[in-house]
Amino acid sequence: MHYSNCLSILIVSSIVILGKWSNARVIFDNEYRDNLEEEDKTLLKQFNKRHVKRQTICPTPYHVLTADNRCVWSCGQGTQPDTSTNECVCQDGYYETGTDQFGRRVCTICPKPYHVVTSDNRCVWSCGQGTQPDITTNECVCQDGYYETGTDQFGRRVCTICPKPYHVVTSDSRCVWSCGQGTQPDTSTNECVCQDGYYETGTDQFGRRVCT
């Protein structure tokens, strides 16, 4: 009888313990499942964010994608961003000369004051009064028979004609008198006239008055 009671108590205790363990297991499973679901949601969000970042469109060749997933401007030599066209265009005073290895527009300075950039983006000569282009110096120099008298409002050399036949231009670009035999300068007429006691007898090979 005593043995039977002990066995009954043991069985009841085991059932109670098993019941509690079963309930605990259910609670644990539910909590574990909830945690897994939260982790899955977090991982999914992170994946979606990375996926969205990888889908960022950064228009080439004038933009590049940085390591932190930003799309920034990337302009070539002599150019600057233009938000209206979403391209890099020539800076002021520059003209387009080609593209670089990335396909970006490349521009070169148009040297002032003897060149200007046209509306169709060409660099052309722009010479002042009495001058002409000189490709050896890349400047505008005095035309033959002209001498330098200053600069204009753009900083370009300005030259004035040296009136023949009574003037010549020196090697250092000065206009000086050049009178024929028996004559002298006359500033009122800007010619060479006969000296006192001389009379005009003709002209020489340069067209200057000759007096005897």
Q: List per-block mean pLDDT (blocks of 10 residues) for the chain, which spans 212 residues.
A: 55 56 57 66 61 69 94 97 96 97 97 96 97 97 96 97 95 95 96 96 96 96
Q: Identify the residue whose tokens are 């006691």.
A: 197
The amino acid present at 23, given as its one-letter code, is N
pLDDT score of 86? 95
Q: Write out the two tokens for 136.
A: 């050896």
- Strand 167-169 relative to strand 175-177, pairing: antiparallel
pTM of this prediction? 0.61
pLDDT score of 164? 94
pLDDT score of 54? 54
pLDDT score of 21? 45
Sign of the Cα pseudo-torsion (179, 184, 186, 191, in order): negative
| CA–CA gap between residue 78 and residue 109 (Å, rounded) | 7
pLDDT score of 114? 97
Burial class from Cβ neighbours inside 10 Å (0-12, 13-18, 19+) for residue 166 reads buried
